[in-house]
Amino acid sequence: MDLRFTPEEIAFREEVRRFFREALPESIRRKMVDGRHLDKADIVAWQRILNARGWAVPDWPVEWGGTGWTPVQRYIFQEEMQQAPAPQPLGFGVNMVGPVIIAFGSEAQKRHYLPRIRNIDDWWCQGFSEPGSGSDLASLKTRAERVGDHYLVNGQKTWTTLAQHADMIFCLVRTNPRVKKQEGISFLLIDMKSPGITVRPIVTMDGGAEVNEVFFDDVEVPAENLVGEEGKGWDYAKFLLGHERTGIARVGVSKQRIRRLKELAALEPAGGGRRMIDDRRFREKIAAIEVELKALEMTQLRVVSAERQGRSKKPDPASSILKLKGSEIQQAVSELLMEVVGPYAMPYQPDEEGWNEPPIGADYAGPLAPTYFNWRKISIYGGSNEIQRNIVAKAILGL
């Protein structure tokens, strides 16, 4: 048992850190620090910088562009990327549909899609949730009927993140309504430019428009866009949902946000000539979160280490703990980031291109309350915290 990084791991961290320092465009870094909206061009630009360095898809097999890193290296890479802070690569391609295509796709699919995902030539989005199926995903209703050499798709998806930018969507569709609900589902890749697709933005309470409804009205999808076998879509979805593990805790993100919080607390007046950082209660509130975060980081390293030992090939229910605690911590930090500016959390300052009014209060105040509102989603999406508790109760505690 030796919880220190090896010299090789430390050297690797230095290399990664240096790369992020040098390669991350300052305009993107600034937006990340300020918690402002990134546009499509930012995310594409950064993904291509990573791809040029060969670091776009570290987790993939080497033959498809992966790096062959150890779990610890991957952990270091992710942690440093979050702390840079750099945008996460678009997960729908890199972490979701990519691994599914690698595991279950045809050779043609692999050759066509994988390089395009690496370089974000295709922007992917995810078509799983439907209005009637949230936690109960398998009850989905969008149907795909095989007609000759194509499928005819009808139905509706929702909560589709960044669909407004998307070139492709991977969907769970019902190809057989006559069997058990999990068994009639297939996994389809659909071109977003197909006739019959309509995207309607869902504005969230913070004023952002990052999620959408996607409607399918007699959309024709070539049969070759089926991944793997018809009726096996549910298995592929489970594979996909279990694929991402340790990143889910977003420890690096929380570290970076706490740094930011302390920076702001040193600036923000507390009344009476004092600063927020001088307030013992506020300092202790931060410290209490730091303690939980340090514990979570260690918990995450334990999962990474177990993975390195190859002891855990299938989805580790420990990732549910990372999700539970990770979301609580991120939300708690977002609360303090709103609290730190006191009354100046109230002014609404649009986070839009072209908005160039002088800031109200401090220039950093604008995104803080909206981010607090927006981050309530963290305990809802990707399997709500209630679902995570159900998983742990069953899979770990045997209840």
Partner 1 sequence: MDFDLTEEQRLLRDAVERLVAEEYDFDKRKAYAQEPAGFSPARWAQYAELGLLGLPFPEALGGVGGTPVETMLVMEAFGRGLVLEPYLATVVLGGGLLLLGGSAAQQQEMVPEIARGRLRLAFAFGERQARYDLADVATTATAAAGGGFVLSGAKGVVLHGDSADRLIVTARTAGGPREREGISLFLVDAQAAGVTVRGYPTVDGLRAAEIAFREVRLGPEALLGPRDHGLDLAERAIDLGIAAVAAEAVGAMSALHELTIDYLKTRKQFGVAIGSFQALQHRAVDMFVALEQARSMSYLATMMAEAEDALQRRRMLSAAKVQIGRSARFLGQQAIQLHGGVGMTMEYKAGHYFKRLAMIDTLFGDADHHLALVAESGGLIDAA
11 is a contact residue toward partner 1 (CB under 8 A): no
Residue among 178, 280, 313, 314 that touches a second copy (CB under 8 A)? 280
Residue 21's binding partner, choosing from a second copy, partner 1, none, with beta-carbon cut-off 5 to 8 A by kind? Answer: none
CA 392, 395, 397, 399: dihedral to nearest 10 degrees? 100
Could you say whether residue 324 binds partner 1 (CB under 8 A)?
Answer: yes
Using an 8 Å Cβ cutoff, are 79 and 252 in contact? Answer: yes
Using CB under 8 A as the binding criterion, the count of chain residues that bind partner 1 stands at 102
- Of residues 47-86, which lie at the interface with partner 1 (CB under 8 A)? 72
Contact between 182 and partner 1 by CB under 8 A: the answer reads no
Q: Which is nearer to a second copy, 81 or 276 (CB)?
A: 276
Binding string, residues 247-276; x marks residues near partner 1 by CB under 8 A: --------x--xxx-xx--x-xxxxxx--x
- Which one of 230, 244, 307, 339 is the catalytic residue? 244
126: part of which helix (H) or strand (E)? Answer: strand 124-127
- 145: helix, strand or coil: strand
Element (H, E) at 160: strand 150-161
Which residue, 123 or 282, is less far from a second copy as judged by CB?
A: 282
Rounded alpha-carbon distances, angstroms, from residue 287 to 4, 273, 294, 335: 23, 23, 10, 14
Q: Taking CB under 8 A as the rule, which mask of x and - marks residues 280-319 in contact with partner 1?
A: xxxxx-xxx-xxxxxxxxxx-xx-xxx--x--------x-
Query: Within 176-195, which residues bind a second copy (CB under 8 A)?
Result: none
Candidates 294, 322, 330, 334; CA nearest to 388 is 322
Strand partners, 187: 172
Among partner 1, a second copy, none, partner that 310 touches (CB below 5 to 8 angstroms by kind): none
Q: Does the N-terminal peptide bond of residue 370 adopt cis geometry, omega within 30 degrees of 0? A: no
* 217 scored as a contact of a second copy (CB under 8 A): no
In sequence order, the 6+-apart residues with CB closer than 8 A to the CB of 144 are 151, 152, 153, 173, 174, 175, 186, 188, 221
CA separation for the pair 256, 84 (Å, rounded)? 8
Minimum distance of a second copy from residue 280's CB (angstroms):
6
Identity of the residue, 181 or 285, whose beta carbon is nearer to a second copy in the bound complex:
285
DSSP 8-state class, residue 226 = B
Choose among partner 1, a second copy, none what residue 136 binds, the Cβ cut-off being 5 to 8 Å by kind.
partner 1
Instruction: Tell me if residue 339 is catalytic.
Output: no
Q: For the purposes of burial, counting CB atoms within 10 Å of the CB of 171, is it exposed (0-12), middle (13-18) or buried (19 or more)?
A: buried
Tell the smallest beta-carbon distance from residue 208 to a second copy (Å).
Answer: 33
Q: Interface with partner 1 includes 234 (CB under 8 A)?
A: no
- Rounded-to-integer distance, Cα 230 and Cα 248, Å: 30
Strand-pair category, 168-174 with 124-127: parallel
Q: Which of 4, 281, 313, 314 binds a second copy (CB under 8 A)?
A: 281
106 or 331: CB nearest partner 1: 331
Window contacting a second copy (CB under 8 A); options: 103-111, 216-224, 278-286, 342-350: 278-286
**Long-range contact set of residues 40-45: C-beta below 8 Å, sequence gap at least 24:** 40/123, 40/162, 40/165, 42/87, 43/87, 43/90, 43/120, 44/120, 44/123
Q: What does the alpha-carbon distance between residue 47 and residue 58 come to, in Å, rounded to a whole number? A: 12
Q: Shortest Cβ distance from residue 288 to partner 1 (Å)?
A: 6
Q: Which of 106, 154, 182, 204 binds partner 1 (CB under 8 A)?
A: 204
Q: 137-166: which residues touch a second copy (CB under 8 A)?
A: none
Q: Per CB under 8 A, does 20 bind partner 1? A: no
Residue 305 is given by DSSP the state H
Q: In this complex, which beta carbon is closest to a second copy, that of residue 278 or of residue 363?
A: 278
Question: What residues line the site for a second copy (CB under 8 A)?
Answer: 280-281, 284
Q: Which are the catalytic amino acids?
A: 244
